[in-house]
Chains A and B, each alone.
Chain A
Amino acid sequence: MPARVPVDLGAVRGRHPEHFQRFDRGRQMVTAVAVAAFALLVFAMAELGFFDGKLLAGMGRLAEIAALMLPPDPKDWAHVRIFSTALLETIAISLLGTLAAAVLALPLAFLAARNITAQRAVRFLSRRSLDTIRSVDILIWALIWVNVVGLGPFAGALAIMTADIGTFGKLFSEAIEAADRKPVEGIVSAGGGKLWGVRFGIVPEVFPVLASQVLYFFESNTRSASIIGIVGAGGIGLYLAEAIRTLELQQTSFIILMILVSVALIDYVSGQLRFAVIGRRGVVA
């Protein structure tokens, strides 16, 4: 074994002060942020009533509830039939809402994209309105639509549509902005108008990306559609909320299981379709 060379730490520190110092300052910053975050956490938990002693009692009750949920049991076949119909309705709501949102969001996305719309004011307005739509939760839209078209799945489909217009508008416009502009230049230089440039230069390039995003959202919308029934906008959420509120816990877990299975199925199918459309590369972040 070779003899160890003694390291004169002091000398090294003297020769390279910047390395040691920067490291220390970075450390101090991180520690300060972490301590502040932790202090805020403790303050917030105290403020929200985490330390009132309810937590422990609640944990006990939660364990009881979880035990009562097993095994999942719909009670009888009549309930299975009701739940299945409601689940199909949920999927229908999600499909309609997603498709309608995609159709309506497309023109808005072109208005909000930097490489299509030159007018700053138009772009700014369409972006801000998309942001505003996005910052209102789907359940709030559902409540508003229930006031407009009455209780039922139709309101749910409209709510999903409204909420998704905001999201799709943003995602689509980002995809359009990322498109290569050379095809458009080629078309314009060959004498095509600006609209032709968009139709044959941009649409073929972004279409697969948009289609994959729509398919991805179909799955996540099915999840949202399964809760909008809580505010009366159709689908299985109504039965789910009812089962929880009346403490029919085995039915509750059965419904949750149904939702999980159908979401997994849709996830699988839409994943396959997505790969068929865009090939094996992840696009949706």
Chain B
Amino acid sequence: MASSPIALLPDAQLRPLLDAYEASVRSRRWHTLLILACIAVAIVLSSMSAEVSLPKLLDNIHRFPSYILRLFLLEDGRPVWTDVGEWFWGLPRWLRLLGETLLMAYVGTVLGAFGAFVLCFFAAANVAPSRWLRMAVRRFCEICRTVPELVFALVFVIAFGLGPVAGVLAVAIHTVGALGKLFAEVVENIDMKPVEGITAGGSSWPVAMRFGALPQTISNFVSYALLRFEINVRSTAVMGFVGAGGIGQDLIEAIRKFYYSDVSAILVLIVITVSLIDALTANVRHRLIGLQEKH
């Protein structure tokens, strides 16, 4: 004992400390075990409900890589990159549809962001003119963002007919819900002094919002709207699955009819477009944030 450079406590003092330490570790272990057991039970129950069977997965799993590989073979079995012209045979049509998809995402985002912009001042706790109105606006936004876009699209396709209008409106409504919440949170985080100053100067509520709240929030609004645009590009790409316009129509047809190389070509186009849009909006957003910090 004397050889150790660290002085150890005498055993009588050490024992209770060690016991206490072990007891606390033991109780934490029990805690963890309990949580793990709960998760395990949940997994078993939901596996039964979702008809998950490991044998089925193991029997079929080899088909996943082979399916993915098959996507990159042309009809005659050659790899797609040996004949890019054949692979992208429908390029003009797909590019037009991709353009339509982007326009849909743009219009949906702008309309949705405009709606959210109008609503958010009524939904923010610190500036809302009336409590009841605030509750109503919040519930409305919640419903808009909880009902999946595709469900709106299905209903709108019945009302407006097949085509991009239904898809755009579905995206716009979802955007109102999602951005309405985020915008309201931005407004709730503003410095209230400018608003108070303007109100004290005798101005009406809209004027106070315009000159007191808006200047503090606008760059955040734009940043969130750009982020939403990114998300919306992804979701408009599948609007065609239910006939609501965009490139999804061709994609689902290719998947359903086993036009393997078409599937991969369209997917490659979508991935490239989405990454480009991501990079572009990320760039603009960083600039906006930089702008905000400079002020």
Contact = CB atoms under 8 A, between A and B. Distances in A.
Contacts of A227: 148, 150-151
A247 B107 CA distance: 28
B156 interface: yes
Nearest to A30: B218
Given A49-B164, A50-B165, A240-B151, A263 B146 contact: yes
Contacts of A99: 39, 43
Interface stretch (A88-96, A178-186, A190-198): A88-96
Contacts of B235: 137
Cβ-closest 3 pairs across A and B: A92-B46, A58-B160, A135-B274
Nearest to B60: A149
Contacts of A8: none
A140 B49 CA distance: 23
B155 A45 contact: no
B267 A49 contact: no
Interface in B57-108: 57, 60, 63-64, 67, 100, 103-104, 106-107
Given A153-B49, A157-B52, A230 B165 contact: no
Interface in B266-286: 267, 270-271, 274-275, 278
A124 B281 CA distance: 21
Contacts of A234: 50-51
B9 interface: no
A150 B64 CA distance: 12
A188 interface: no
B50 A156 contact: yes
A150 B103 CA distance: 34
Contacts of A96: 43, 46-47, 50, 52
Main secondary structure on chain A at its contact with chain B? Answer: helix
A94 B63 CA distance: 23
A245 interface: yes
Nearest to B158: A65
Main secondary structure on chain B at its contact with chain A? Answer: helix
Contact of A44 (B103, B161, B255, B278): B103
28 contacts: A44-B106, A44-B107, A48-B163, A49-B165, A55-B165, A58-B159, A61-B159, A62-B159, A95-B43, A132-B271, A136-B267, A139-B241, A140-B251, A144-B255, A148-B60, A150-B60, A154-B51, A154-B56, A223-B146, A223-B148, A227-B148, A227-B151, A234-B50, A247-B158, A256-B151, A259-B146, A260-B146, A260-B147
Given A50-B165, A55-B160, A99-B43, A244 B155 contact: yes
Interface in A169-223: 223
A40 interface: yes
B107 A45 contact: yes
Nearest to B245: A48
A137 B46 CA distance: 24
B147 A37 contact: no
Interface residues of A, number: 61
Interface of A: 37, 40-41, 44-45, 47-50, 54-55, 58-59, 61-62, 65, 88-89, 91-93, 95-96, 99, 131-132, 135-137, 139-140, 143-145, 147-150, 152-154, 156-157, 223-224, 226-227, 230-231, 234, 240-241, 244-245, 247, 252, 256, 259-260, 263-264
Nearest to A133: B271
A159 B160 CA distance: 30
Interface in B35-50: 39, 42-43, 45-50
B252 interface: yes
B110 interface: yes
Contacts, number: 161
Contacts of B241: 139, 230-231
B50 A143 contact: no
Contacts of A152: 51
B49 A148 contact: no
Contact of A54 (B48, B147, B150, B161): B161
Contacts of B48: 92
B158 to A, nearest CB: 7
Given A54-B165, A154-B52, A140 B267 contact: yes
B213 interface: no
B163 A49 contact: yes
A199 to B, nearest CB: 15
A48 B164 contact: yes
A60 B49 CA distance: 41
B11 to A, nearest CB: 25
A99 to B, nearest CB: 7
Interface in B158-192: 158-161, 163-165, 168
A89 B168 CA distance: 30
B237 interface: yes
A37 B158 CA distance: 30
A224 to B, nearest CB: 7
A171 B233 CA distance: 20
A67 to B, nearest CB: 12
A135 B158 contact: no
Contacts of A241: 154, 242
B33 to A, nearest CB: 16
B237 A137 contact: yes
B238 interface: yes
B114 to A, nearest CB: 9
A58 B164 CA distance: 13
